[in-house]
């Protein structure tokens, strides 16, 4: 058969090469724009293999080896997070993992939601910190709660949810006759990398009978580090956890794990009992028909197998060390000013104050100017291809830079100094008249 072609292969290759040329090279050390960076090469090999196999993992018969690998890996991860008898699933991203958490929490208290929907339920309230990721607001809309059902709890100067404010808010909702359903604690906020007081929040949730979900999408990778995993103390008390190995740890996207303490609940809350797929009269143990699961586990398994627990721990320790070095350099170098310290996750947040701004009264107008200077420096850094770095405002702060360190590519202190040097040099090119 002769195939009808759109373009021939030479043309196609030319197009693809052009696209690559004009794409951002996220594998470089100077890409610091996101919470992900270069992929782990072992993970990439795993991703290519599973893509080439082009298989789904809903039934054991179609992907026996991949199914067993996912179960094995999930058990290992559950053990690391301190919920050895729990269950889990790989989902298409952290936002989706949070949806799983809310669906489980809602089903646990109100199983009738599956047949009757939200109309059968009292008014349900979700709690999260004002520095948390926007996926909770999105989930509130998608799942029919409505965004007005979310309570944003104040954070302290380090970006952690203030537990006493949370306690007050839960009580207020109860007094008003509404039902506090779920608290979303964050282990590693998107910008500051703050880790909420998980232990305290878990106890508070227990006292009030509220589901405790931990969004560990970013900071969850610290669980890999023998030295830093204590920062996540209390995560083992959570009812559910989301963790994105595709962020800090460098698994190829998407790779997001959702973990849950109550073993049967994930299946009960989500199964649609599709009889055409999950026949009960198969010739093997149908408990291995894992339903919604995916092959995303395989790429993570390949990198884990290659590096081992110790290798991943070393990578986590290395980036925390680099982040400490970056933070100390920023705090001592003239023109740089830290937003928060000490370090919680490997996020370093700071302003660069050009010489023409120094030594002046730091009033509202001064800060408004800084708000414009940070994006201008970013523009100069990007256009000169010296560094692609994130900036952000927060309710308490005008625009500032965030450098978030990821496992790959493995960097050294020299490269950290080069990044800061680039920021300083571009910062000094900013002219007040251009703002
Ligand atoms: C703290 C936190 N939680 C959740 C998410 C959402 O993850 P995803 O982009 O995989 O949906 C992000 C994304 O940056 C995040 O920073």
Q: What is the pLDDT of residues 194-242, one digit of tens each?
A: 999 999 999 999 999 999 999 999 999 999 999 999 999 999 999 999 9
Question: Shortest CA distance to 268 belongs to which of 288, 284, 291, 236?
Answer: 291
- DSSP letter for 161, please: B
Q: Where are the beta strands (DSSP E) in 19-82?
A: 31-32
**CA-proximal residue: ligand 1, atom 6 (nearest):** 94
Taking only Cα atoms into account, the Rg of the chain, rounded to an integer number of angstroms, comes to: 24
Residues near 369 by beta carbon (within 8 Å), at least 6 away in sequence: 357, 432, 435
Q: What is the pLDDT of residues 347-402, one digit of tens each?
A: 999 999 999 999 999 999 999 999 999 999 999 999 999 999 999 999 889 999 99
Domains by residue range for the chain, with CATH = 31-38+307-434 (3.90.1150.170), 41-305 (3.40.640.10)
Determine the distance separating the centroid of ligand 1 and the alpha carbon of 247, expressed in angstroms.
Answer: 9
Determine the distance separating the centroid of ligand 1 and the alpha carbon of 109, expressed in angstroms.
Answer: 26
Mutation choice for ligand 1 from 94, 218, 404, CB with most ligand atoms inside 8 A = 94
Tell me the two tokens of residue 399.
């625009």
The total of other beta-carbon atoms located within 10 Å of residue 16's CB is: 10
Ligand 1 and 409: CB distance under 6 A: no
Q: Give the pLDDT of residue 274.
A: 55
Ligand 1 and 244: CB distance under 6 A: yes
Tell me the two tokens of residue 340.
């928060």
Ligand 1 and 35: CB distance under 6 A: yes
pTM: 0.94
**CA-proximal residue: ligand 1, atom 5 (nearest):** 94
Ligand 1 and 128: CB distance under 6 A: no
Determine the distance separating the centroid of ligand 1 and the alpha carbon of 218, expressed in angstroms.
Answer: 7
Q: Give the pLDDT of residue 435.
A: 79
Determine the distance separating the centroid of ligand 1 and the alpha carbon of 257, expressed in angstroms.
Answer: 12
Q: Which residues of the chain have pLDDT under 50?
A: none
Ligand 1 and 155: CB distance under 6 A: no
Q: Give the pLDDT of residue 187.
A: 98
């Amino acid at each position: 058969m002769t195939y009808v072609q759109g373009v021939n292969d030479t043309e196609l290759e030319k197009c693809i090469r052009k696209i690559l040329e004009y794409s951002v090279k996220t594998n470089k050390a100077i890409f610091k724009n996101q919470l992900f960076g270069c992929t782990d090469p072992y993970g990439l090999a795993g991703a290519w293999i599973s893509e080439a196999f082009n298989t789904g993992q809903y039934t054991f018969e179609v992907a026996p080896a991949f199914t067993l690998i996912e179960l094995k890996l999930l058990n290992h991860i559950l053990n690391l997070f301190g919920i050895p008898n729990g269950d889990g699933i790989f989902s298409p991203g952290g936002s989706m993992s949070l949806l799983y958490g809310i669906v489980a929490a809602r089903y646990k208290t109100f199983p009738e939601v599956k047949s009757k929907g939200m109309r059968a339920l009292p008014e349900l309230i979700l709690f999260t910190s004002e520095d948390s990721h926007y996926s909770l607001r999105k989930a509130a809309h998608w799942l029919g709660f409505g965004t007005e059902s979310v309570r944003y709890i104040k954070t302290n100067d380090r970006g952690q949810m203030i537990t006493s404010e949370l306690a007050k808010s839960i009580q207020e909702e109860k007094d008003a006759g509404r039902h506090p359903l779920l608290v979303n604690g964050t282990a590693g906020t998107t910008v500051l990398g703050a880790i909420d007081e998980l232990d305290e929040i878990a106890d508070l949730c227990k006292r009030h009978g509220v589901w405790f979900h931990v969004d560990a999408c970013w900071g969850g990778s610290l669980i890999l580090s023998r030295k830093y995993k204590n920062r996540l103390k209390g995560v083992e008390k959570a009812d559910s956890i989301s963790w994105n190995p595709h962020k800090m740890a460098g698994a190829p996207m998407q790779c997001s794990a959702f973990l849950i303490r109550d073993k049967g609940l994930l299946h009960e809350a989500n199964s649609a009992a599709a009889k055409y797929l999950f026949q009960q009269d198969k010739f093997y143990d149908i408990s291995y028909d894992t339903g919604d699961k995916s092959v995303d586990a395989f790429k993570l398994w390949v990198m884990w197998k290659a590096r081992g627990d110790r290798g991943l721990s070393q990578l986590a320790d290395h980036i925390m060390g680099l982040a400490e070095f970056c933070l100390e350099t920023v705090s001592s170098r003239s023109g740089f000013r830290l937003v928060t310290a000490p370090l919680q996750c490997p996020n370093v947040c700071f302003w660069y104050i050009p010489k023409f701004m120094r030594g002046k009264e730091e009033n509202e107008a001064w800060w408004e100017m800084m708000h414009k200077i940070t994006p201008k420096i970013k523009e100069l850094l990007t256009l000169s291809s010296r560094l692609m770095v994130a900036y952000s405002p927060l309710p308490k702060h005008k625009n500032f830079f965030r450098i978030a360190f990821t496992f790959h590519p493995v960097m050294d202190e020299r490269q950290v100094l080069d990044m800061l040097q680039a920021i300083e040099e571009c910062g000094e090119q900013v002219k007040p008249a251009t703002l």
